[in-house]
Amino acid sequence: MKTQLETKLAQYGQDHLLKFWDELDPDQQTQLAAQIDAIDFDLVQSLINKKAAEGSSDAEAMRAEVPPAITLDDFADSASYDAAAAIGKQALANGELAMVLVAGGQGSRLGFEHPKGMYPVGPVSDVSLYQIHFEKVMARAKQFGAPVPMYVMTSPPTHEETTAFLKEHKFFGMNPDHVRIFCQGVMPAVDDDGKLLLADKDRIFVSPNGHGGTLAGLVDSGCLQHARELGVKHLFYGQVDNPLVQICDPALVGYHIQSNSQMTSQVVRKNDPVQKVGNVVEVDGKVQIIEYSDLPEAAARLTGDGGNLKLWAGSIAVHVFDLAFLEQSSGQAETLPFHRARKKVPFVDDAGAAVSPEQPNATKFERFIFDLLPFAKNAIVCEVDANDGFCALKNAPPAPSETEAHVRAAISDLHTRWLTAAGVEVAAGVKVELSPLYAVDAEVTKERFAAGTKISEDTYFGPTE
């Protein structure tokens, strides 16, 4: 077996991966051989040879515009909103929606020892991110009387524990036939000489291949097919770390359908020209994201009508996809390019010693789901107020933003606003939390509570029958 592997690896200049082969026991040898077998060395070699993909040029950025947008003004215009919401509600009632929740990231900044979705964030209930997402999906299914299948993407580092957790909690009450958990692929990392790194003597370092791995993952796992068989036409995409995500919001879905859009991205209005979010823009008729690090400041500061920022649309990684568009895209392997990221990757050196680098020492390769935007016909963006739809859990304290404390406060504040709008009096300083199965949005909150109700202590309105 060793000779065969050596021959294969030598072709790619990667035979150092067998350096410790003779020290390994048969099980370890088998697992290393299996790992080598699973790596697409042609692909890795082509990425090593290729120069880093060039982002958009400065000239392109200067002539970029925001794509066709549904703004908060449209949402506030009752005729526009009601028409869109009616379309979305009908699609939900027809069973045309499914949810894909991406949860394959390793949450390295958060420093939580379990998959991020298990993190307790309910401000009063302490329920997990997963429970909130599952209940939102079930709430929409219940509200419109048709199933909304749920596809959860994990990765090798998060798969087992996530599966066990969700099973232990019986998918929070969701019909197991409507839940699929699929594992995304991985990619090796290379050092500055283009050599793959060993995580251990018997193991090549690999990491999840980015949220762009969703596309191949959905296809390979059969989830896209499953959705197609159930009559699903649109996939709502969200990230596990954003508990405010407006899963299958009828108006958002309705605007997507009304626009005949193959991919709709929900965005926030940037409050700072150089805010650290991806910019959703359109250049020469193609919608794309320019990362904040690639957007020249001169372009970022351009203003348009009334002195407002020209490139105002910041991505929050919430999308609605046309199912047929995903099916077509999956047939074109090259659709999603790999991006490079310099990272600190612990490895085993030639002498067999474990090294924990203090500086980035390796390049990781990741695909991004938003790279589908330029291929989507009629792509639009839909604005949302961040307070209503986006607060991600990324960091451990004492980080100034995106910590557990921020997320808990954001949930309680949002629910307080829904209640206040419904005429409920919430005493100052009191925390309130609505299970999505109790009230999934402002509209349902209004139906659930009598005006004049008073809430004077921290309260969780839990799931109801």
User: Residues interacting with ligand UTP, by CB under 6 A?
Assistant: 102-110, 116, 153, 155, 184, 208-211, 213, 239-241, 394
Least distance in Å: CB of 418 to ligand UTP? Answer: 25
Least distance in Å: CB of 125 to ligand UTP? Answer: 21
Q: How far is CA 234 from the centre of its chain?
A: 16
CB of 109 or CB of 417, closer to ligand UTP: 109
* β-strand partners of 265: 319, 381
Least distance in Å: CB of 179 to ligand UTP? Answer: 17
The per-type count for the chain, helices as H runs and strands as E runs, is 16, 22
Q: Are 160 and 170 in contact (CB under 8 A)?
A: no
Annotate 149-206 with three-state secondary structure.
CEEEEECCCCHHHHHHHHHHCHHHHCCHHHEEEEECCEEECECCCCCECEEECCEECE
CB of 75 or CB of 236, closer to ligand UTP: 236
* β-strand partners of 402: none
CB of 108 or CB of 401, closer to ligand UTP: 108
Residue nearest to ligand UTP (CB): 105
CB of 214 or CB of 416, closer to ligand UTP: 214
CB of 47 or CB of 432, closer to ligand UTP: 47
Q: What is the largest CA-CA distance in the chain?
A: 79
Q: Are 25 and 194 in contact (CB under 8 A)?
A: no
Half-sphere exposure of 416 (CA within 13 A, CB side): 22
- For residue 375, the SS3 value is helix
Which distant-in-sequence residues (6+ apart) come within 8 Å of 428 by Cβ? none
**Packing angle of the helix pair 2-11, 26-38 (nearest 10 deg):** 30
Least distance in Å: CB of 366 to ligand UTP? Answer: 6
Token pair recorded at residue 119: 């993190």
**Dist CA 120 CA 110 (whole Å):** 13
CB of 12 or CB of 292, closer to ligand UTP: 292
Least distance in Å: CB of 104 to ligand UTP? Answer: 3
Least distance in Å: CB of 184 to ligand UTP? Answer: 6
CB of 329 or CB of 445, closer to ligand UTP: 329
Least distance in Å: CB of 189 to ligand UTP? Answer: 13
